Amino acid sequence: MRARTRPETPEVEAVGRFVDEEVCPHADGWDRAENIPGDVLRRVGELGLWAPFLPVEAGGAGLDMVTLGRLHEEVGRGCSSLRSLLTVHTMATATVQRWGDDEQRERWLPELSEGTTLGAFCLTEPDHSGSDSTAAGTVAVAENGVWTLRGRKTWITGGQVAGLFLVFAGTATGMSAFLVPADHPGVRVTPVRHMLGTTASMLATIEFDDVRLDPSALVGPPGWAAGTVMTGALDLGRYSVACGSVGIVRAALAASAAYTSARSAGGGLLRDLPQIRAKISEMVTARDAARLLCEKAGRLKDAGDPATIMATWVAKYFASTAAAKAASDAVQIHGANGCGPDYPVARLYRDAKVMEIIEGSTQIQELTIADEAYREVSG
């Protein structure tokens, strides 16, 4: 069930049909298999979903950020694992497009735009908090015109299938970013299994064992990545997660409305109980409010307004917590059936918890948003 709250663009309509027909019926199976089939990933490419924000001359459709967010919302409605692959691919592709040099753009954008090469974002490390984005045990040393990269990254979404890694490493002058092909000598990929949620996002641990890179692998000047590449890419990823969380709210609402319209209790339908109607009303309100916050962040991105950074924090905070509550309520509404394999709400519940952790945990978001509030008051 897809609620029609406004006219949609042709792109959003097409993706909505794809999600209804080719994603929703299979998402639970992908979840159990911990894998999304290659033909589905190729289908995403046929729809132009991997990088529609790129300019037409770079292989994209030149879509604005608000529309991109709606596309990620639609995919998130059907499968958070698939949306997660879109998120990290978007982060890597946007980095090449915005900060890569001409050679890097020419080399990688055609494949990234088509999805024949998938990108992954390699920041999190096993020995550092995921929220401490500037901590880097992975290092790159420059010597005789060659960079030597060594270290390990973990919880890398899409790491099992990506062909290009955007890797952040400490260098003598600070954090730097490198483009590393997955088949480069010294790169080792180990799948991560049995995750709580987004189990089909094909996570991996990536090890770099004295990987030798020529200067063309470096994105921007050495030591330049922390305040530019990392900040911009994480903001875009946070926006995608926020929009995908709206999709989870929508899926929880649709599942709950359908279930309570068919299930009876005490001589009447569940939908007629006041407690159920209150939960449905909360989901509708959360869906609409979260989407409005995402659209605000998207409009600010399209305008090039730096206020988009905080707007995206707020959108992600609200949307991810709304998704967690909506999914939890959906399980409660389904009762024991909500804990079993025959309804999608158990998957939504597990995926929604992940949304509260990735791209800035709920607690980090609270600190960041409060800091901004105090700056506004004191300023």
H/E run at residue 326: helix 308-334
Distances (CA, A) of 339 to 23, 44, 133, 330: 21, 30, 35, 10
The pLDDT mean for the chain works out to 95
Residue 131 has pLDDT above 70, yes or no: no
228 vs 51 pLDDT, higher one: 51
Cα(69)–Cα(71) distance, rounded to whole angstroms?
Answer: 5
Which tens digits make up the pLDDT trace of 299-320? 999 999 999 999 999 999 999 9
One DSSP character per residue, 198-243 reads -TTS--EEEEEEEEEE-GGGEESSTT-SIIIIIHHHHHHHHHHHHH
Are the C-beta atoms of residues 141 and 178 closer than 8 Å to each other?
no
Which tens digits make up the pLDDT trace of 204-221? 999 999 999 999 999 999
Architecture of the domain defined by 10-118: Orthogonal Bundle (1.10)
Cα(204)–Cα(95) distance, rounded to whole angstroms?
Answer: 21
Which tens digits make up the pLDDT trace of 27-46? 999 999 999 999 999 999 99
pLDDT interval class at 234 (50, 70, 90): very high
What kind of fold does domain 226-378 have according to CATH? Butyryl-CoA Dehydrogenase, subunit A; domain 3 (1.20.140)
User: How confident is the model at residue 267, as a pLDDT?
Assistant: 87
| Catalytically active residues, by annotation | 359
Residue 132 has pLDDT above 70, yes or no: no
DSSP bridge pairs for 255:
none
Are the C-beta atoms of residues 332 and 338 closer than 8 Å to each other?
yes
User: Structure pTM?
Assistant: 0.95
Q: Where are the domains of the chain?
A: 10-118, 120-219, 226-378
User: How confident is the model at residue 82, as a pLDDT?
Assistant: 99
Residue 133 has pLDDT above 80, yes or no: no
Which tens digits make up the pLDDT trace of 72-126? 999 999 999 999 999 999 999 999 999 999 999 999 999 999 999 999 999 999 9
User: How confident is the model at residue 4, as a pLDDT?
Assistant: 47
User: How confident is the model at residue 227, as a pLDDT?
Assistant: 84
Q: Is it true that domain 120-219 has CATH number 3.90.1150.10?
A: no
Cα(360)–Cα(366) distance, rounded to whole angstroms?
Answer: 10
Which tens digits make up the pLDDT trace of 47-75? 999 999 999 999 999 999 999 999 999 99
| Measured CA angle at 135 (ends 321, 198), to 5 deg | 35
Which tens digits make up the pLDDT trace of 244-297? 999 999 999 999 999 999 999 888 999 999 999 999 999 999 999 999 999 999
First CA to last CA distance, the chain: 46
